[in-house]
Chains A and B, each alone.
Chain A
């Protein structure tokens, strides 16, 4: 009981999140998901209020809340949207939010690459396949989710465990504050402007991680050949 009263904010927020996901899920009994949509801003604001206290830097806080709110909102709606095309588009929105977080984390090159690869290639290809395989108005497997209650409870437990771990490590009463940053062997910081720029990332890629780059190139080649081999063909032999 003591533990529950200490972590009442975390448990309440997780219950709110789970209830919102369950309300957003399409079910056979309910026609509209309006209560879920109404609860959505409350949930996102509650998550931000409990876990993401502002740091005092106004511009940084504003950008962070916008980006993370976009990402989490896009993820929530992507998980529960019944139309697969809309779900793919909400995934693109979540990707944009994540790219905003990359920019705040001083990784602008990575943000650009992620937008190009995800929004430009992956989402377009997925939407293309969804539309190719689209059946007559609303197929049953999109309308009826699989074990929604059990999956939501499990997911919320997973998130709660991770949040507890983060709180224990980075919270106000953690032992981390006694650890000085110089003890982390980061005293030899690179030039501050260098972090995240294409030049800096490329220098790190082609010096420290050269072997991994070669391996990644091989994996790409193998995946390309495999995809061409697996892809179904018409009897005439043309794709």
Chain B
């Protein structure tokens, strides 16, 4: 029986990393939850290792609390996953990348910012080189209407 907990810490780190990789790559909602449980396993291994290293019960008691919270989390997450499944008939996480509902009004901040935003002004257009600009009645330069051949040719930048 070795008092050195480093072996257990290595196994705990590996389990934690595998759980993290699973959580990032899985697209199935249920398996994402299972991957997070694997990460909790890694933490539990560390806690019991330190509990034995120090000869005290605290790590094991903390592991019992981890177990309790994991059970709560599993129950709640399964309820949420079932509710989501009944809406889409699928467990794909990508269906929930946008959480807004179409039948609802657009969000408040969005509509408010749209009202404040000034109306878009038309960009000024330059007269093609070598022509006399035509000044309209309002003092602005009247943009000459180009024919197709001119627009595709040298006047494309106008």
Q: Check A159/B17 contact, CB under 8 A, given A60-B2, A84-B28, A113-B67.
A: yes
Using known A-B contacts A162-B16, A163-B10, determine if residue A117 contacts B71 with beta carbons closer than 8 Å: yes
Q: Closest residue to B57 on the A side, CB-wise? A: A204
Please list the residues of chain B having a beta carbon within 8 angstroms of any beta carbon in chain A.
1-11, 13-22, 24-28, 30-31, 33-35, 37-38, 41, 44-45, 48-49, 51-52, 54-58, 60-61, 63-65, 67-76, 78-83, 85-86, 90-94
CB pair A60–B1 under 8 Å, yes or no, is: yes
Knowing that A154-B21, A167-B6 touch, tell me 9 more A-B residue pairs with CB under 8 angstroms.
A72-B14, A105-B49, A141-B27, A146-B27, A146-B93, A162-B17, A190-B57, A192-B55, A231-B82
Distance between Cα atoms of A32 and B83 in the complex (Å): 35
Smallest CB separation, A17 vs chain B (Å) = 8
10 nearest A-B pairs in the assembled complex, by CB-CB distance: A223-B72, A159-B17, A170-B6, A151-B24, A155-B21, A204-B57, A141-B92, A79-B22, A162-B13, A75-B18
Residue of B nearest to A215 (CB): B65
Q: Nearest Cβ distance between residue A138 and chain B, in whole angstroms?
A: 12
**Which residues of B lie under 8 Å from residue A196 when comparing CB positions?**
51, 57, 60
- Let me know if B61 and A107 touch, CB within 8 A: no
CB distance from A221 to the nearest CB of B (A): 10
B79 / chain A contacts, CB cutoff of 8 Å: 226-228, 230-231
Closest to A156 in B: B17
Contact of A155 among B10, B20, B31 (CB under 8 A): B20
* CB atoms of A195 and B15 under 8 A apart: no
B41 touches A98 (CB 8 A): yes
Q: How many residues of chain A have a CB within 8 Å of chain B?
A: 94
Chain A residues in 8 Å Cβ range of B19:
75, 79
Q: Give A117-154 as 1s and 0s: 1 = Cβ < 8 Å from B's Cβ atoms.
A: 11001100110011011010001111011111011101
Q: Which residues does chain A contribute within 8 Å of B49, judged by CB atoms? A: 105
Identity of the chain B residue whose Cβ is nearest the Cβ of A174 in the assembled complex = B6
When the two chains form the complex, which single residue of B37, B64, B85 contacts A133, counting CB atoms closer than 8 Å? B85
Chain A residues near B81 (CB-CB < 8 A): 129
Query: Which residue of the partner chain A has the closest CB to B71?
Result: A117
Q: Chain B nearest CB: distance from A6 CB in Å?
A: 18
- A106 to B49 alpha-carbon distance, docked (Å): 9
Q: Are A230 and B83 also in contact (CB < 8 A) when A71-B15, A78-B22, A79-B21 are?
A: yes
**Complex interface: chain B residues within 8 A of A75 (CB):** 14-15, 18-19, 22, 38
The docked-state distance in angstroms from the alpha carbon of A169 to that of B4 is: 11
Q: B76 and A230: CB pair below 8 A?
A: yes
A213-230: contact bitstring with B at CB < 8 Å (1 yes, 0 no)? 000100110011011101
Q: List 11 A-B contacts (CB under 8 A).
A: A51-B10, A78-B35, A87-B34, A101-B45, A101-B48, A141-B93, A142-B28, A146-B94, A190-B56, A200-B57, A216-B68
Contact B76 A227 (CB under 8 A): yes
- Expressed in whole angstroms, the Cα–Cα distance for A230 and B49 within the complex equals 37
Q: Please give, as numbers and ranges, the residues of chain B lying within 8 Å of A203 by CB-CB distance.
A: 57
Q: Which residues of A are found within 8 Å of B10, using beta-carbon distances?
A: 51-52, 163, 166
Contacts of B76 in A (CB 8 A): 223, 226-227, 230
Asked, given contacts A130-B30, A166-B9, whether A186 binds B37 with beta carbons under 8 Å apart, the answer is no
